[in-house]
Amino acid sequence: MDKLQGVGVSHGVAVGQVRHMGTAVLEPPARQIDAEEAPREQQRARQAVEAVAADLTARGELAGGEAQAVLEAQALMAQDPELIADVERRVTVGGTAERAVYDAFSTYRELLAGAGEYLAGRVADLDDVRNRIVARLMGVPMPGVPDSDEPYVLVARDLAPADTALLDPALVLGFVTEEGGPTSHSAILARALGVPAVVALPGAGELAEGVVVAVDGANGEVVVDPDEAERERLVRVAAEHRAALASASGPGATSDGHKVPLLANVGGPADVAAAVEAGAEGVGLFRTEFLFLDDSERAPSEEKQVAAYRAVLEAFPEGRVVVRVLDAGADKPLAFLSPGEEPNPALGVRGLRTLLDHPEVLRTQLTALARAAEGLPVYLEVMAPMVADRADARAFADACREAGLTAKVGAMVEIPSAALRARSVLQEVEFLSLGTNDLAQYTFAADRQVGAVARLQDPWQPALLDLVALSAEAAKAEGKSCGVCGEAAADPLLACVLTGLGVTSLSMGASAIPHVRAALAQHTFAQCERAASAARAADGAERARQAARAVLSGE
């Protein structure tokens, strides 16, 4: 019985046989074709690209929500005009369609991988697109989720969005990946599906096909070939967890009644049903950039935006809906707003900086939001991503006022400077919302898309908890609110710690809400405060987690 340690990113326990993802990279033979075959090969390549793009789009429609946006971005990748031109050129000089696709994508892949930052994070998506096109051209099965009638634990190097979106929770008991960090797309999608998941597990690829593993998505532990006693323990933990889930309902609160509203993170109207079903008390983060991915040339029209915003606002009558204005750049590139070549896009013009450079895009979005909320009883709040300082906060608040918005205006705390100077930022805005995904990235200089530095993106890092505490204390002193809308809020144990640090609301993917509600309901506010102090006093993320667990379980 071996124990492997990865990073738990989606709660629950799964015990089952390992099935590896079919990731074989198909390398087509390098065969020279005659010049007269070129037009036919070019046509085959074009047809395969179109079919794969259509398939990705269809998978997206089936999956809905954030998964849809990711899959549609992949469909756009497949149809990239420069890539297609490169494929055609390679066929003209004697390559087969499959070899030309393979080589063109591989060249582009090298460029992306070498470009660092967010571009490297898109390599898995690009490889997946290439493998799909090549498989189609070679007439072999698509790479992807294994065929199995029996439930299994899916193991992969990294999961492409196209696969995670279609995982069948009835067959896939859980998943384990070698790459990926806690805030990667795969982790976010796993939580959306509600399957236990562990990422950044060294050696995952070497697990034998068919061996039984126990995956604990809370603590990141994977036990290989667990003995009877260990299996019984895990089954018991899972049963206790289910019982706790079943007994908690209603608004979020500690056992002694300290209220912590539980809100949902949504990517658009398609995510609303799951949020309502999970009992979300509103929306704490509406990621509006997914609306902007449809057209790489321009922003969606004001009318289209009004309709999408209204659909979300109407789902929470009397509730609170916090909309984040467009967060473009770095890991969320948008061609028409691209600042051009930047050596470090995550440190460049992104988020609010992009919008301040394109005031017309911000103005249209704010006007659309004001119109969408007209006549509705909802409490609309609007916040800006990537606020660095008071000047940023003022510029955003001014833009909101100029657009005639009466909503509460807030700032996301994603850059350490904003946390360190939270009181100054709060002179301009009415609330703070901690984006712990980016806050971890910038605090530890650790790209959120790189599995190798996942250790540093762990939101249990005491340095990150210190910044959360600073922000919450500043908000309290100013009589304002400070929520968390990063992935940290979705970890039930950490949610108790964040509550103890003084945050006033928690926003997460809908599937995490029942788990967080149950965890809060089992502890008093004073216990949460003690757990928070113990975690902050620890050296390192794992020790912080253990210290908090010890306090909360009364050990």
Interface residues with ligand PEP (CB under 6 A) are: 285, 287, 327, 414, 435-438, 485-486
The reply to whether 185 belongs to the active site is yes
Cα separation of 257 and 246, whole Å?
Answer: 19
Alpha carbon distances (Å) from 141 to 62, 136, 173, 175, 478: 21, 8, 23, 22, 60
Give min distance, CB of 461 to Mg ion, in A: 17
| Backbone dihedral region for residue 139 (phi beyond 0: left; psi -120 to 50: alpha; all else: beta) | left
- For residue 264, the SS3 value is strand
435 binds Mg ion (CB under 5 A): yes
Q: Which is nearer to Mg ion, 324 or 515 (CB)?
A: 324
Nearer to Mg ion, 64 or 435 (CB): 435
Per CB under 5 A, does 438 bind Mg ion? Answer: yes
Task: Give all strands (DSSP E) within 267-405, no chain letters.
Answer: 282-287, 320-324, 379-384
Give the binding range for Mg ion (CB under 5 A) out of 60-68, 73-81, 201-209, 438-446. Answer: 438-446
Q: Give CA angle at 381 (193, 443), nearest 5°.
A: 65
Q: Which is nearer to ligand PEP, 133 or 508 (CB)?
A: 508
Q: Using CB under 5 A as the criterion, what x/- string covers residues 382-421 for binding Mg ion?
A: --------------------------------x-------
How is residue 309 written in tokens?
Answer: 């915003």
> What is the smallest separation between the CB atom of 337 and Mg ion, expressed in angstroms?
16
Is 121 a binding residue for Mg ion by CB under 5 A? The answer is: no
CB of 385 to Mg ion, least distance (A): 6
Which of the 8 DSSP states describes residue 6?
-
Output the residue with the shortest Cβ distance to Mg ion: 438
Q: How far is the CB of 9 from ligand PEP (least distance, A)?
A: 13
Cβ-in-10-Å burial (0-12, 13-18, 19+) of 422 comes to buried
Catalytic residue among 185, 241, 515, 523: 185
Residue 327 beta carbon to ligand PEP: minimum distance, rounded to whole angstroms: 6
**CA–CA separation, 123 vs 461, rounded Å?**
28
Q: Which residues of 250-270 are buried (b: 16+ CB within 10 A; e: fewer)?
A: eebbbeeebebbbbbbbbbbb
Out of Mg ion, ligand PEP, none, what residue 84 binds, judged by CB under 5 to 8 A for its kind, is none
The structure tokens 């200089």 sit at 445
The active-site residue, picked from 482, 485, 496, 528, is 485
285 binds, among Mg ion, ligand PEP, none (CB under 5 to 8 A by kind): ligand PEP
Binds 345: which of Mg ion, ligand PEP, none (CB < 5-8 Å by kind): none
> Which CB sits closer to ligand PEP, 370 or 464?
464
Instruction: Specify the residue, 346 or 400, whose C-beta has the smaller distance to ligand PEP.
Output: 346
Residue type (1 letter), 235: V
- 436 makes contact, choosing from Mg ion, ligand PEP, none, with CB < 5 to 8 Å by partner type, with ligand PEP
Closer to ligand PEP at the Cβ: 10 or 254?
A: 10
Least distance between ligand PEP and beta carbon 485 (Å): 5
Distances (CA, A) of 420 to 45, 51, 151, 210, 537: 53, 50, 48, 50, 19
Centre a 10 Å sphere on the Cβ of residue 240 and count the other Cβ atoms it contains. 10
| Other CB atoms within 10 A of residue 413 CB | 33
Site of tokens 């992306």: 112
496 is catalytic: no
510 contact, one of ligand PEP, Mg ion, none, CB 5-8 Å limit per kind: none
**Active-site amino acid positions:** 185, 485
Summarize as ranges the residues that interact with Mg ion (CB under 5 A): 414, 435, 438
